[in-house]
Copies of this chain bind each other. A is one copy, B any other.
Amino acid sequence: MLELYHAEPSANSMKPMICLKEKRLDFVSHYVDLLAFEQHEPAFVAINPNGQVPVLIHDGAIIAESTVINEYLDEVFPEVPLKPADPVARARMRVWSKFIDEYFCPALSMIGWHVRIRQTAKAVEPARFAKLLERIPLEEQRQKWATIGGDSFTEAELADSRRRLVVSAQRMEKSLSEGPWLAGETYSLADLDTYSMAVALPRLMPESVSQEKTPRLLDWIARMNARPAVKAALAMSRRDPRTGRRIDRPAAASA
């Protein structure tokens, strides 16, 4: 049996959601509501001591880290392969996934934090927030959440993250001038790993990601949007992407 603990179909949670859908694998979905701080609840931390989504459980074996989960799924369920057959293209795929994890995602995460998560956290009553803070397992995460009351990130840090997003978009544009997909001729984990972050770019930075400046990137996003697996993953959303409100609960129940 496959089970996936995930949040919204966005960023790291979205990576294995698309991968599972591409491979047409049935899985039990466990929604972890990040805006309700469910990722730090003891029941979830017992599954992943880092208190982070996504987590895959396959016949009892726990696999964390979205990039690793996708490599695992591709090895164990190779019927719909998501790695190029050529080892050089496969290395190119892994360089992309690594770039996403180490460069693109942290920058996007800082911006996302600044514009949304922080506002949600600020709305929590202080005594309750202090308790929520205490149970965050990773020191780095706790430090980040603890800045809620203040200015969070500096203007210089935010500017540097925005610069990194532009660098990421330009790198995608260049790569897509060399082939239809990020690893070359073959659609691969590199595309779905990257898409899960990049889909936010046109809205987030229209001055840098546009038909004029990054036509290939926009075409690739459109091709990704059209994939049935991507549509199926996006359909698993539990919150309205514009308002952030839960859409899977009657209004009375969410009060």
Contacts and interface: CB of A to CB of B under 8 A. Distances in A.
Interface of A: 58, 61, 63-65, 67-69, 71-72, 75-76, 87-88, 90-91, 94-95, 98, 101-102, 139, 163, 167
Contacts of A95: 64-65, 68
Contacts of A61: 88
A75 B98 contact: no
Contact of A90 (B75, B88, B167): B75
A68 B94 contact: yes
Q: How many copies does the complex hold?
A: 2
A69 B92 CA distance: 10
A60 to B, nearest CB: 10
A69 B94 CA distance: 10
A202 to B, nearest CB: 23
Contacts of A64: 95
A54 to B, nearest CB: 13
A90 B73 CA distance: 12
B98 A71 contact: no
A98 B65 contact: yes
A98 B68 contact: yes
10 contacts: A58-B88, A63-B88, A67-B94, A67-B98, A71-B90, A71-B91, A75-B87, A75-B90, A98-B101, A139-B163
Nearest to A96: B68
Given A68-B91, A72-B90, A98-B101, 11 more contacts: A58-B88, A61-B88, A63-B88, A63-B91, A64-B95, A67-B98, A68-B95, A71-B94, A72-B88, A101-B102, A139-B167
| Residue from A88, A102, A167 having most chain B Cβ neighbours under 10 A | A88
